[in-house]
Amino acid sequence: MRYPRNVAFRYPSAGDQKLVQIVDAALAETTRKSGHWLACRPGCTQCCIGVFAINQLDAFRLRRGLTKLEKSDPKLAAAIRERARDSVERLSKDFPGNRRTGILNEDADSQRRFENFANDEPCPALDPQTGLCDLYDSRPMTCRVFGPPVRSEEGLGVCELCFQGATDKEITACEMIPDPDDLETRLVQTVENSSGRHGETIIAFCLAS
């Protein structure tokens, strides 16, 4: 089993809800400031193609969302899980991590391999017909902040479809600060310490089991 479905641990539900509210509020404010510069619209799948790492808090939120969907729309939930399994099947051979658990390796060579890994792979939560996310309310933090200008170690990053023709000053004026008190780091530590599962994974492995 690649990713156990019934891992008993304390999920910081209230803390995660607070984090989501903080990030979503920051996104709403940045969207207001960005206006026409922000190209993100329903059906735009630029950020849904290509594999990226998610932490254990993201992973549990996704799995919790899929479990809820299984009760309200089992057919849709089954389709998501099938897409995830198909994705794992395609990706396992070259996966730079543990193929059984789905945890990414942290050594320098594996990290370099991951930079060019599965850049054309669609997210299993993406509905190929509508271009919408079937687990939108449970999506990872990376999905919630992609698009607007967000600062990282590499500088101020922005989706290539957004802010076309904008000056550096205009982009900086719309900078999104999603988690100013770094609540996410503390919540991830809580989940990892409680579950015993440490490290990052990808959405396909998270939803496949």
Assess whether pLDDT exceeds 90 at residue 200: yes
Mean pLDDT of 101-116: 96
Q: What is the pLDDT at residue 1? A: 36
| Predicted local distance difference test score (pLDDT) of residue 157 | 87
pLDDT greater at residue 4 or residue 115: 115
Tell me what the mean pLDDT of segment 23-42 comes to. Answer: 93
Output the pLDDT for position 8.
53
pLDDT band of 2, cuts 50, 70, 90: very low
Does the pLDDT at position 74 exceed 60?
A: yes
- Residue 96 exposure: Cα atoms within 13 Å on the Cβ side: 18
- Tell me what pLDDT residue 188 has: 96
202: left (phi over 0), alpha (psi -120 to 50) or beta: beta
Which of 8-12, 48-52, 146-150, 152-156 bottoms out in mean pLDDT, i.e. has the lowest? 8-12
Q: What pLDDT sits at residue 63? A: 96
How far the first Cα of the chain sits from its last, in Å, is 7
CB 67, CB 209: distance < 8 Å: no
What per-residue confidence (pLDDT) applies to 129?
A: 93
Question: Which residue in this structure is represented by tokens 């803390």?
Answer: 15
User: Is a pLDDT exceeding 60 seen at residue 78?
Assistant: yes
**pTM, rounded to two decimals:** 0.91
**pLDDT digits 0-9 by tens, 121-177:** 999 999 999 999 999 999 999 999 999 999 888 888 899 999 999 999 999 999 999
b vs e for 33-42, b when ≥16 Cβ sit within 10 Å of the residue's Cβ?
bbeebbebee
pLDDT reading at 16 higher than 50 = yes
Domain boundaries, the chain: 13-208
CA distances (Å), origin 129, targets 45, 75, 79, 126, 156: 11, 15, 12, 9, 33
Mean pLDDT of the chain: 92
